Structure 1
Amino acid sequence: MAGEQDRFNPKTVKRFQGPDDVLRELQDNPNIRFVRLFFSDLIGNIQCDFTVPSYALTEPVFKEGIGYDGGSILGQARIQESDKKAVPIPETAVVTPWSYQTESFSFPDRGYQEMIMFANIVNPDGSRYEGDVRNVLETTIQKAGVVGADTFYIGPELEFFLFKADKQGAPILEKGLPVLMDAGGYFKGGKQGRVRKEAQLVMQSMGYEFTTDHHEVAPSQHEITFMHLDAMRMADATMLYKYVLRKVAEHHEVFASFMPKPMITYHGKPVNGSGMHLNQSLFKKDKNIFADPNTPDNLSRVAKQYLAGLLTHVNEITAVLNPTVNSYKRLVPGCEAPVYVCWDPTNRSNLIRIPATDKEKAVRLELRSPDPTANPYLAYAVMLAAGLKGIEGKYTPPDKVPENVYEMTPEERAKRGIGTLPQTLEEALDAMEQGTIVRETLGDHLYN
């Protein structure tokens, strides 16, 4: 039997440490012909069709960046101030395990690979651009030091649908609805599980880890769960996974959809939507400051204050966590999506739960309302900002709600002080405008 040392482990995948490391890889691997730069617009669309020839990536580029028109990127710049630069971040570099095949007469049999790197966005003078969503998250993470934390960990549970696609990779519609690939069910599914597996294999080859993958409750619905990472690396990983999954899905002639609620019913029965549950914790060096084994629920005082901050301010950050009109078709009773603002360690009808664990480092909060259309950089930032406000203000969480909240009457919920999430994007935007967290976190440029 093969020993443990023979198993593949993403932890052993080389991580690039700086510009010299990246340039050496390009020198040693001539098959890498292009470098693809990734960054996000305001609403979380990855800007990925931006490549430079590998020979053009030189040491000065890591300092000076590569110019582009920021006025053409949603949420970045006005036309009169649109010049921006993308500065590659060498520590984010990964090499695609697949090869592209050329169809040119000049290179009839030649394939090539690409290197992918995320980029910071700067102004022409080299200063950080306030409209860069990475900058927003980085600034918010630094504020965690005020409460004694140095790392904000995130572990998303990312749900998605796989639909039948045409030869161009677009979803096939019948009577206005996407064509399902299976009838499915929780832990049940057909051969499309291979799409999940192949996407994971690609990500593993790039050094990313997962804990589980499985078919979800709805037909053609799937889920993968990331091993936790610090928030910035996880935001990058979330964006990269969407890109990789769509590539793999297209290869299998299916379409990967992260739409929260692509269909309302199936054979007359309600269909669950896709969420992006976000597990989160704060650490100081190797210590989980959310954990206290001497309390009944293993939560420290800081964790409960953070939890109270999320519950208190969740309505005003919901427009960032659930940013589309379609998001609110998912947030309805009866389809396992949270609607009511309450918490309990095990109750999945609540907004926040505390996943069971006997490991101190694994103690965490799970916020269940976000969906995959959220911009991960901004979603992680506003969540952290709400939690930090709870810690700084020494908030006290409400009592736990172990009962099924969906089965309570409105009068019972009112008596228990259980609020409701915004039911439309308009309501969410109103709540955002009445609060202060999103404006303070995003800054006036992105907020406006």
Structure 2
Amino acid sequence: MAVSTPARESLIEEIKETIKTKSVELLHMQFVDIEGTLKHVTTTAEKLEDVIDGKTMFDGSSIKGFTPINQSDLYLMPDLTTFAVLPWTEEEGYSEARFLCSVKNPDGSDFSGDPRNILKKTVDRAADKGYSISVGPELEFFLFETDEKGLPTRQTQDIGGYFEPSPKDNGEKVRLEVYRTLKKMGFTIEASHHEVAEGQHEINFKYADALGSADAATTYKWVVKTVAKQFGLHATFMPKPLAGANGNGMHTNISLFDVEKQENAFYDESDSLGLSKTAYQFIAGLIDNVKDFVAVTNPLVNSYKRLVPGYEAPCYIAWSASNRSALIRIPATRGAGTRVEIRCPDPSANPYLAFAIIASAGLDGIEQDLTAPPSVDADIFSMSAVEIEERGIENLPTSLEEALNKFEEGSIGADTLGEHAFAEYLDLKRGEWDEFRTTVHDWELATYQGKF
């Protein structure tokens, strides 16, 4: 057990008081597997002391990407700051709560395959250089009708467009309930709106430190799906659920804070764009490594059907201070709000691994003193193929197979994820690609069966 501190003891007392006043009976110990899928083990509030001491054991061999059966015992150590009562469970005299947890080995050391621990390592790497990492993700989702069995259909829940209100945006009531639920769980919501495609929505929550932001993204996806189900709908963060429509992105805003100087490390008022040398190096690191890490930020076969021209999704490797057709954009805010926005990630990504590898790539740029290429301020989507080639603008990988090849050949994946998680992730995604490659799809039957 960790040495007690006054702050920790105070937090424990607050948790005990909340459990008492809210009549909490069940505690859900939550963590994610290598894909970012939320898992939990449930215990009772009477076991709180054991929970806090990290005595909750589970079978790691049953979790995707974790341990072999002969080394299966793992333990959950709760992050006490993530304690939250679940609003949808509250009734008179009863409620449930959760903790997000890190995974430990039987000897108390961090389990190297836990995505939360992997992100912690990158946070520590930045701290060694005097930086803290802030991340603000923007996760889009679709709402679909369900059939009589509760399974998702391909019928969107509304016919609204970008920023449209009701009556076209029937999703307003769902977003309102998501907002209320998240607020009760400690979130600060900054914006909520209908997105470009029919049935597509976005709710933005306040940025946080990298670990807190990954915790928030994980919780957010769970809450959105849970609330949607209460309305008889299915929420999906699938990157491209509908052909011919915009897909779901997870634009990721990231910045470094110089702890010693107590200032945003990306801001320099003397620069023409208001960016520091550190910011340019960070941008260069992203550009230099992005082909090698999109297998993590865009992890599905379906991810690469979003990364095509014509639907606002970035597929060209370039940066700009304003241009939304570029992969990397610098939002207009300067001073303390200066940040880099990378636009390729999608919300099917494991947020812990995605934020870790994005930050790691940027830190590489700083460590190697890389130089960012000239910015591309023209609309890349309107350029001809010849002009794109003349400017030296490269494409992101166009398939999961290509992305996995780059991921395996490069160094950023193994360096960030570590030997165990890197091998497990690669094996999992290779299997996913092979299953897709060997499946006969409806398009093939419709195109070829009658013709040949």
The normalised TM-score by structure 2 is 0.88
**Offset of 1:253 from its aligned partner?**
1.1
Whether contact under 8 Å (1:346, 1:354) holds in the other structure is yes
Whether contact under 8 Å (1:32, 1:112) holds in the other structure is yes
Whether contact under 8 Å (1:308, 1:387) holds in the other structure is yes
**In structure 1, what is the equivalent of residue 43 of structure 2?**
52
**In structure 1, what is the equivalent of residue 227 of structure 2?**
248
**In structure 2, distance between residues paired with 1:191 and 1:442:** 41
Per-residue CA deviation, residues 378-425 of structure 1 (Å, 9 max, x unaligned), is 000000110000001111111111111122223322221211100000
Of residues 310, 333, 340, the one that matches 1:365 is 340
**In structure 2, what is the equivalent of residue 374 of structure 1?**
349
1:263 matched to 2:242? The reply is yes
Residue type matched to 1:57 in 2? Answer: L
**Offset of 1:192 from its aligned partner?**
1.1
1:194 matched to 2:173? The reply is yes
**In structure 2, distance between residues paired with 1:194 and 1:292:** 43
Of residues 289, 294, 309, the one that matches 1:313 is 289
The change in CA–CA distance for 1:145 and 1:403 in structure 2 (over 3 A counts) is: same
Whether contact under 8 Å (1:155, 1:279) holds in the other structure is yes
SS across alignment from 1:224? strand
**In structure 2, what is the equivalent of residue 227 of structure 1?**
206
**In structure 2, what is the equivalent of residue 127 of structure 1?**
109
**In structure 1, what is the equivalent of residue 158 of structure 2?**
182
SS across alignment from 1:64? coil
**In structure 2, what is the equivalent of residue 3 of structure 1?**
none
**In structure 2, distance between residues paired with 1:203 and 1:422:** 35
**In structure 2, what is the equivalent of residue 399 of structure 1?**
374
**In structure 2, distance between residues paired with 1:368 and 1:231:** 17
Whether contact under 8 Å (2:54, 2:78) holds in the other structure is no
Whether contact under 8 Å (1:147, 1:388) holds in the other structure is no
1:34 matched to 2:10? The reply is no
Of residues 311, 327, 350, the one that matches 1:335 is 311
**In structure 2, distance between residues paired with 1:17 and 1:199:** 30
Of residues 252, 258, 274, the one that matches 1:298 is 274
- Structure 2 gaps, min length 5: 1-7, 424-452
Of residues 346, 351, 358, the one that matches 2:322 is 346
Of residues 133, 137, 147, the one that matches 2:129 is 147
Per-residue CA deviation, residues 341-364 of structure 1 (Å, 9 max, x unaligned), is 00111111100111112x411111
Residue type matched to 2:17 in 1? Answer: R
**Offset of 1:157 from its aligned partner?**
1.0
**Offset of 1:111 from its aligned partner?**
6.0
Matches within 5 A, 1:98-113: 98-99=88-89, 112-113=94-95
Range that drifts further, 196-205 or 272-281: 196-205
SS across alignment from 2:319? coil
The change in CA–CA distance for 1:168 and 1:205 in structure 2 (over 3 A counts) is: farther
**In structure 1, distance between residues paired with 2:185 and 2:173:** 18
Per-residue CA deviation, residues 105-139 of structure 1 (Å, 9 max, x unaligned), is xxxxx662111100111111221111111110001
Residue type matched to 1:425 in 2? Answer: L
Residue type matched to 2:341 in 1? Answer: E
More helix by share: 2
Per-residue CA deviation, residues 251-275 of structure 1 (Å, 9 max, x unaligned), is 11111000000010xxxxx200000
**Offset of 1:141 from its aligned partner?**
0.7
The change in CA–CA distance for 1:168 and 1:288 in structure 2 (over 3 A counts) is: farther
**In structure 2, distance between residues paired with 1:168 and 1:83:** 37
**In structure 1, what is the equivalent of residue 12 of structure 2?**
19
**Offset of 1:100 from its aligned partner?**
5.6
Residue type matched to 1:353 in 2? Answer: R
**Offset of 1:24 from its aligned partner?**
3.3
**In structure 1, distance between residues paired with 2:175 and 2:268:** 36
SS across alignment from 1:98? helix
**In structure 2, distance between residues paired with 1:374 and 1:429:** 14
Identity of aligned residues (%): 42
**Offset of 1:145 from its aligned partner?**
2.6
Residue type matched to 2:163 in 1? Answer: F
**Offset of 1:182 from its aligned partner?**
1.5
**In structure 2, what is the equivalent of residue 280 of structure 1?**
254
Whether contact under 8 Å (2:281, 2:365) holds in the other structure is yes
SS across alignment from 1:39? strand
Whether contact under 8 Å (1:99, 1:111) holds in the other structure is no
**In structure 1, what is the equivalent of residue 413 of structure 2?**
438
**In structure 2, distance between residues paired with 1:349 and 1:306:** 19
Per-residue CA deviation, residues 77-110 of structure 1 (Å, 9 max, x unaligned), is 1111111111222111011223367xxxxxxxx6
Q: Provide the aligned C-alpha RMSD in A.
A: 1.7
Residue type matched to 2:234 in 1? Answer: F
**Offset of 1:56 from its aligned partner?**
1.6
Residue type matched to 1:428 in 2? Answer: A
**In structure 2, what is the equivalent of residue 104 of structure 1?**
none
Range that drifts further, 80-89 or 409-418: 409-418
**Offset of 1:211 from its aligned partner?**
1.7
Per-residue CA deviation, residues 175-197 of structure 1 (Å, 9 max, x unaligned), is xxx11112211111422112112
**In structure 1, distance between residues paired with 2:340 and 2:79:** 30
**In structure 2, distance between residues paired with 1:217 and 1:61:** 44
SS across alignment from 2:388? helix
The normalised TM-score by structure 1 is 0.89
Whether contact under 8 Å (2:177, 2:227) holds in the other structure is yes
**In structure 2, what is the equivalent of residue 106 of structure 1?**
none
Per-residue CA deviation, residues 183-238 of structure 1 (Å, 9 max, x unaligned), is 21111142211211211111111221122111011010011122110010110010
SS across alignment from 1:218? coil
**Offset of 1:72 from its aligned partner?**
0.5
- Structure 1 gaps, min length 5: 1-14, 102-109, 265-269
| Divergent runs of 4+, >4 A | none
**Offset of 1:16 from its aligned partner?**
9.6
SS across alignment from 1:142? helix
